[in-house]
Structure 1
Amino acid sequence: MHFFISWVGSNLGFDKIILMSILNVLLTSLAYKYLKGRGYAYGLILLILLTNYYFFVIYFTLEKLKVAFIFLLLFLLIRKRFWLALISLAASLFAHFQMIILAALHINAGFLSAIKNATMPKKAFIKIAIYMACAGLLSLLLFQKYGSFIGAKVQYYFNFSRSQGLLSLRSALIAFFLTFLGAENKKKVIYYFIGLCICILFLGSDRLNMFAYFGFLHYINPKRIISKVSIVLLSGYLLYKTIMYLNLIYYFGG
């Protein structure tokens, strides 16, 4: 998907820097709309977007993940339009293999929570089940086509994660604690972070801590005082990481 967008942009005469800048603006706009829809105050949204280490890494370094998150945010914003949402989800998975993990964690958390929730409307339950089945099918297709490549990546991350041990879980556990305190649906939070911690133990925390932060933003109720305090605290820490990262970019390039 990243290659296709780059190819289209190139044929339309866009310089790669211009194209990536356009995608950065699109990502930021979608993130703003998503956070606004979740009930985040304008000030909190600005704080998140301007201090977030993960956003800056995606802006400057992770081009494929940038495209994947754009389609993921589209999926989250248009979930009521079932088929368009499904296409967006598929595009996100094909843009970056790592999104298989995030999609599986999120959909599985919703599915398990729905099983426990007898009051959930039947249509909503069926929709979650269909998303889960489609995501699983798309993942199988990806593994069939790129199995050897994915296997090599998994083996590399697994070997790296063994050297970290349980320490690799520290950031995810902090995110879980803060998310649990500020969330309305605590069951979803538990299911999401259990799955994430298992993935981190096998694949390491290098990339997956980003998903811990995404889960935090997605599941908390931003109107709660504890959530606002958590956002400010995490933003302070991520601002420090952002400054260090931008310093590296300045001296050594992206």
Structure 2
Amino acid sequence: MSVLPQEELIKKWEREQDALKQQLVEGDTEEWQQTSGFAGLERVGGVDLSFIKGDEVNACAQLVVLSYPQLELLYEDSQMVTLTTPYIAGFLAFRETPFLLEALQRLKTKQPSLMPQVVFVDGNGLFHYREFGVACHLGVLSGLPCVGVAKNLLQMQGVLRSEEHLSQIRALKKGGDSFPLTVACGRVLGKALRSSDKSIKPIYVSVGHRISLDTAVQLTHACCRYRVPEPIRQADMRSREYLRKHYQCLDTQK
């Protein structure tokens, strides 16, 4: 199979992103999203990939499904995968999403009653260079509501880790407090959220698919026992543990 030069590959991916973006739904589409306390929401998913340190090709793709609001484990899937697609900034989804989709498909085949009603993705959604991060990609292709949650600020389009940004972080006094991430054109693409009273470092929440930003932020906060929402935290922990157990690997990386 021929490999496209990077410039051609980027153009191809840009066309695919643009086509998928036309299917993106930013608003709430589910009844549970519009009820007090998210009544009717019973299953929340989390996905992540963990790599062996020093190895950018072999990874553990992880899916977990937790009960809501208890946040207890209902299902987990750990699968070693080989990533053959190159990493290019802004196009991470083309490298990782196929394996996350496969995990969701395995669940749908084996235990369809445990399919998550919303999926938390370790990465950005609309808060992305091209307003279509991995959470959007996974959401559109799976058809599931998705929320992007990043642990670090993606600096872009006038949103920078400036003194003003740090001042806004300091103004977050308690868990649930947030402020908008407004890019240069004036569009709000996400929010910085103080996820718990104990954690002063925010997380960055953005819409993936079929959910509004306000609902995504509220649900993320509701799923946080610690700084990172429990579905992502469990996916991260379990993928790392899988690598340690099966590959005698003590060092893992994101």
TM-score bracket relative to the smaller structure: under 0.3
Structure with greater helix percent: 1
TM-score relative to the length of structure 2: 0.26
TM-score, normalising length: structure 1: 0.26
